[in-house]
Structure 1
């Protein structure tokens, strides 16, 4: 009789976890907005009206 080698299927869940971790890392680095402002990096909005009738 011939010997038949049977290989078990490798689990898929480690690949799913790896893809989710990579997606979370990409989101964290590129797509998230920085809501916590650094006190040394404050943006000031310019609210001064512009006079369009003045000639320079």
Structure 2
């Protein structure tokens, strides 16, 4: 999600995540120390899910 500063982007993501899903994984590409390297080797949807599962410490 992209947009102006201080308008509630993080709040709405967390709110919707908590209300609509039993669990969700929040990935902040700006604040994460790995940044854009997190998904540089991902080539398939399966690779994406595996990478996210490893980051979250739980199987998706």
Q: Structures share a fold, TM > 0.5?
A: no
**Is the helix fraction higher in 1 or 2?**
2
- The structure that has the greater radius of gyration is 1
- TM-score (normalised: structure 2): 0.28
